[in-house]
Amino acid sequence: MNKGHRVANRFFERFVFPAPAVLFVVAMLMVPIGYTAYLSLHEWSGGLRPPSFVAFENFQRMFASSRFWGSIGRTAYFVGLSVVLQVLLGTVAALVFHQPFFGRSVARTLYMFPLIATPTAMALVWKMILDPTIGSVSFLTRALGAPNVAWTAEPAFVIPTLALVDTWQWTPLVMLIVLSGLAALPKEPYEAGKLDGANAFQLFVNITLPLVRPVLIIAAMFRVIDCIKTFDIIMVITAGGPGYSSEILNIYAFRESLTYFHLGYGSALLVVLTVLVFTVALLLNRVRKRNGGLS
């Protein structure tokens, strides 16, 4: 085969053959995003009446709304609490499962069970567990003589409770990511540290943590992006209530779009959500690269 044929083959393999799949994926992404951006500049309640162009009025209304800024604050609260808990607990679990012990494979498999359930089904189960009258949590608190707390009906407790539910489901994912990083660590630094008399804590602080930091940042990046977009567990358990106490930005956009049929304003909210996710992803990616992550 001459050089011309090899060049032609490489061109077809790299560009022509993948082109249909790439174009399909781009269309599946860009068409909904483009239509949402189009609707964000219009006022529309659905039906046969066409959308009316209002330029940036939806965005002006949004940025002047205390409900919008409240949803941003609740989103930040939920994301921060969830990600911190998941990274901490996932790292501890990875360190435990990285050590050899009897029944490790079985224990690791059991620990992964929360990832198997779909978020909606899992949220329905947790809604029953947290029910203040028939839930098992209330039964235990009454049996222990502690005051019964309506965990999902009290504004002060609802976001932490939802963060704990999210942590229960997604900590195993963080554990898997960190565990893969631990498995790839070299053994030489640990052998040198032991020769110098370092104990287990010193080995963790001075060797394990710096080496696994890029993996922790990747795990945190995945979870931050996913938590910002959380919808199912909050919608099933509280639907944004009580009042607006658990109404994060995604729930707010859903309510405006499909409950009140303010489709233009809801689309503007989704545009802001998309920009927020994209911006956070870029920032976290820069942090990852500065801390030794892969380019």
Please state the pTM of the whole predicted model. Answer: 0.88
CA angle 102, 107, 112 (to 5 degrees): 155
Q: What is the pLDDT of residue 172?
A: 93
Q: What whole-number distance in Å separates Cα of residue 129 and Cα of residue 120?
A: 14
Say which residues have a Cβ less than 8 Å from residue 208's Cβ, sequence separation at least 6.
95, 182, 185
Average per-residue pLDDT for the chain: 87
Instruction: Examine the pLDDT at 31 and tell me if it is beyond 70.
Output: yes
| DSSP letters spanning the chain | --HHHHHHHHHIIIIITTHHHHHHHHHHHHHHHHHHHHHHTEE--SSSSPPEE-TTHHHHHHHT-HHHHHHHHHHHHHHHHHHHHHHHHHHHHHHHHHS--TTHHHHHHHHTHHHHS-HHHHHHHHHHHT-TTT-HHHHHHHHTTPPP--TTTSHHHHHHHHHHHHHHHHHHHHHHHHHHHHHTS-SHHHHHHHHTT--HHHHIIIIIHHHHHHHHHHHHHHHHHHHHT--HHHHHHTTT-STTTT--HHHHHHIIIIIS--HHHHHHHHHHHHHHHHHHHHHHHHHHHHTT---
Q: Which of 250, 77, 234 is nearest to 166 (CA)?
A: 234
Residue 72 has a CB neighbour count (10 Å cut-off) of 16
Q: In terms of pLDDT, which residue wins out, 206 or 85?
A: 85
Residues of the chain with pLDDT > 90, as a percent, come to 44
Q: For the purposes of burial, counting CB atoms within 10 Å of the CB of 201, is it exposed (0-12), middle (13-18) or buried (19 or more)? A: exposed
pLDDT in tens, 3-20: 666 766 777 677 777 888
**pLDDT class of 1 with cuts at 50, 70, 90:** low
pLDDT tens-digit profile of 232-286?
Answer: 999 999 999 898 999 999 999 999 998 889 999 999 999 999 999 999 988 888 8
- Cβ(259)–Cβ(276) below 8 Å: no
Instruction: For residue 169, give both structure tokens.
Output: 């489901």
Q: Which of 41, 70, 16, 55 is nearest to 246 (CA)?
A: 70
Q: What is the pLDDT of residues 35-49, one digit of tens each?
A: 999 999 999 888 778
- pLDDT, residue 219, reads 92
Name the CATH superfamily, with its identifier, for domain 58-117+159-290: MetI-like (1.10.3720.10)
